[in-house]
Amino acid sequence: MPGKRFTESSAERDPALVVVGASAGGLHALQVMVSGLPADWDTAMAVVQHRSRDSYALCELLQDVTQLRVCEVEDKQEITAGSVYLAPPDYHLFVEDQHFSLSIDAPVRWSRPSIDVLFESAADAYGDRTVGVVLTGANSDGTRGLRRIVDAGGQAVIQDPATAEVRVMPESARRAVSEACVLPLDAISGHLRQLRGRNRVPCARAGE
Amino acid sequence: MEPVALPNAPATYGADIERIEIELLLEGVYRHYGFDFRSYAYASLKRRLWKRIQAEGLPTVSALQERVLHDPHMMERLLLDLSVNVTAMFRDPTFYAAFRQKAIPVLRTYPFIRLWHAGCSTGEEVFSMAILLEEEGLYERARIYATDINEVVLQQAKAGIFPLDKMQEYTNNYLRAGGKRSFSEYYTARYEGALFNPSLLRNVVFAQHNLVTDRSFAEFNVILCRNVMIYFDRPLQNRVHELFHGSLTNFGLLALGSKESLKLTEFEDAYEPLDAREKIYRKLG
């Protein structure tokens, strides 16, 4: 089923791309977040979950909790609204203009896929129409990328470390991105649903 | 200890200026050296460029262009950055297992088997396939061509030395790929690394070939091009697929990387899947 293409006119007002990073504890956090998204969501989401090459079927486990289309990215796959795209294991995921590309360049901070790689390329391609979300995890991947998204005018959401299975990743992001909204896990999808255009939705900021 | 440099432009760098600079750099490289990176996937290319820019301590893409045009050694370094795809032996073991199960029976019916590793880089895949063919008793009938854009990298592949600390990973991959022997039989541990048996290359010819600019040079029963075209944009992928299609015998096999696809290329209907999941395709007659 073809989704709505991202054209300049439709993306003018809505966030174009939500990019999400998770590591240890990510499966549960992603299930909670994705299950709260509306079936008719008109935005796209790209996810890097640190995964080993022999990882479980993340796609099926997330598809179970949502009617949005969940799939692993194939090279040059188009970005369409209402889809949740997963970085495949052992590839980096890049955002091009209207589609994704993959690479097998060296791991970044020992990770491939790398959250920073996704976030930085999203910031470059979508600028202030990017929303970055950092969830639970055991290293600081995603911190630099989230900073870059905000510097490009985009928005940032961090899972409240108190609700995270492993606090390290969201703590690291919170220290570097004071502009980010820090939210309990079960409030993140509600926040994403409210995002429209470049208006900021009130929330507890990391810097406060 | 954490790695240091941020291989990308500072966020304040104007995106339009950056694109102009990158296009000018690539145009300059093409005109002066003949390497055509103009149709590479932009985001991954950009990241690789910035890694080189920062490694050289330069401030801008334009500064890199200036160095590249005036210093061939700089171009050599950049060429390595843009063309080396270090991978692992038996990367995606399920691919090799599927190749054993579905492709080998077909190849067994041919008196001679011509294989082309297009974009062989540092040679991990060449050795993997040589080992597989050897174990299936087909190596003697095989003539293998391994090509890459980069001479330096071809020399490295020919030398057959791989890091010792990778051997455990490679052994695991090999076993999961259906390896029938002991992986350590295929190499000897030396100071400089694991030296793979030169006899594995006795039917292999290494040659320089540029997928972007060079023409077809022979007909093959099997073409392997895995995780090479991910660095190309869609138009270039179509051009290379045309090259491959014209270089395959009828019912010849094309093997792509696990997350690559013929879908959305102009050649989707020219092949049928031999193994759809592992991206092994058979050219229709």
Chain B: residue whose CA lies nearest to A116: B6
What is the dihedral sign for C-alpha B67, B72, B73, B74?
positive
Q: How far is Cα A53 from Cα A88, in angstroms, rounded to an integer? A: 9
At residue B12, the pLDDT reads 53
At residue B3, the pLDDT reads 41
**Lookup result for tokens 């949502």:** A66
Chain A: residue whose CA lies nearest to B19: A124
- Contact between chains at B258 and A127 (C-beta distance less than 8 A): no
The enclosing H or E element of B146 equals strand B142-148
> Does B16 touch chain A if contact means CB atoms closer than 8 Å?
no
Mean pLDDT of A133-138: 97
Which of A111, A114, A116, A141 is labelled catalytic? A141
> Does B182 touch chain A if contact means CB atoms closer than 8 Å?
no
Q: pTM of the predicted model, to two decimals? A: 0.92
Q: How far is Cα A141 from Cα A169, in angstroms, rounded to an integer? A: 7
At residue A1, the pLDDT reads 35
Q: Which of A17, A124, A168 to mutate to test the interface with B (most CBs of B within 10 A)?
A: A124
Contact A104, B230 (CB under 8 A): yes
DSSP per position, A40-84:
T--SEEEEEE---TT---HHHHHHTT-SSEEEE--TTPBPBTTEE
User: pLDDT digit string (tens) for B205-264?
Assistant: 999 999 988 888 899 999 999 999 999 999 999 999 999 999 999 999 999 999 999 998
- Contact between chains at B43 and A96 (C-beta distance less than 8 A): yes
What is the dihedral sign for C-alpha A99, B270, B240, A87?
positive
Closest in B48, B227, B234 to A76, CB measured: B234
Q: Is residue A6 predicted with pLDDT exceeding 50? A: no
Residue B125 in tokens: 């895949």
Q: Are strands B271-275 and B248-256 parallel, antiparallel or unpaired?
A: unpaired
At residue A5, the pLDDT reads 43
At residue A3, the pLDDT reads 43
Residue A172 in tokens: 């690291």
User: pLDDT digit string (tens) for B47-56?
Assistant: 999 999 999 9
Q: Is residue B115 predicted with pLDDT exceeding 70? A: yes
Q: Is residue B58 predicted with pLDDT exceeding 50? A: yes
Chains A, B: CB contacts under 8 A, how many?
78
Judging contacts by C-beta atoms under 8 Å, the chain A residues touching residue B11 are 123, 147-148, 151-152
What is the DSSP secondary structure assignment for residue B232, as one 8-state letter? Answer: B
Closest in B87, B91, B230 to A75, CB measured: B230
Q: Catalytic site residue A23?
A: yes
Span between the terminal Cα atoms of chain A, in Å: 44
The enclosing H or E element of A22 equals strand A17-22
At residue B205, the pLDDT reads 98
Q: Is residue B10 predicted with pLDDT exceeding 60? A: no
Mean pLDDT of B182-192: 95
> Does B121 touch chain A if contact means CB atoms closer than 8 Å?
no
> Does B8 touch chain A if contact means CB atoms closer than 8 Å?
yes
User: pLDDT digit string (tens) for A67-116?
Assistant: 999 999 999 999 999 999 999 999 999 999 899 999 999 999 999 999 99
At residue B16, the pLDDT reads 85
A142: phi then psi, degrees, rounded to nearest 5: 105, -25
Task: Give A26's pLDDT tier (boundaries 50, 70, 90).
Answer: very high
Give the residue, A53 or B5, on which the prediction is more confident.
A53
Task: Give A200's pLDDT tier (boundaries 50, 70, 90).
Answer: confident
User: pLDDT digit string (tens) for B261-285?
Assistant: 999 899 999 999 999 999 999 999 8
Q: Is residue A35 predicted with pLDDT exceeding 90? A: yes
Q: Where are the alpha helices (DSSP H) in B56-141?
A: 61-70, 72-83, 93-98, 104-107, 124-135
Chain A: residue whose CA lies nearest to B233: A76
Q: Are strands B193-196 and B204-208 parallel, antiparallel or unpaired?
A: unpaired
> Does B259 touch chain A if contact means CB atoms closer than 8 Å?
yes
Q: Is residue A4 predicted with pLDDT exceeding 60? A: no
Share of chain A above pLDDT 90, in %: 79
Chain A: residue whose CA lies nearest to B8: A120
Q: Are strands B193-196 and B187-190 parallel, antiparallel or unpaired?
A: antiparallel
> Does B263 touch chain A if contact means CB atoms closer than 8 Å?
yes
- Contact between chains at A103 and B86 (C-beta distance less than 8 A): no
Contact B156, B122 (CB under 8 A): yes
Q: Catalytic site residue A141?
A: yes
At residue B5, the pLDDT reads 43
Q: Catalytic site residue A9?
A: no
Q: Is residue A8 predicted with pLDDT exceeding 50? A: no
At residue A92, the pLDDT reads 97
**Lookup result for tokens 């895949």:** B125
User: pLDDT digit string (tens) for B66-87?
Assistant: 999 999 999 999 999 998 888 8
Share of chain A above pLDDT 70, in %: 90
At residue A13, the pLDDT reads 59
B63: left (phi over 0), alpha (psi -120 to 50) or beta: alpha
ipTM: 0.91
Judging contacts by C-beta atoms under 8 Å, the chain A residues touching residue B46 are 124
Q: How far is Cα B58 from Cα B63, in angstroms, rounded to an integer? A: 6
Q: Is residue B7 predicted with pLDDT exceeding 60? A: no
Task: Give B35's pLDDT tier (boundaries 50, 70, 90).
Answer: very high
> Does B32 touch chain A if contact means CB atoms closer than 8 Å?
no
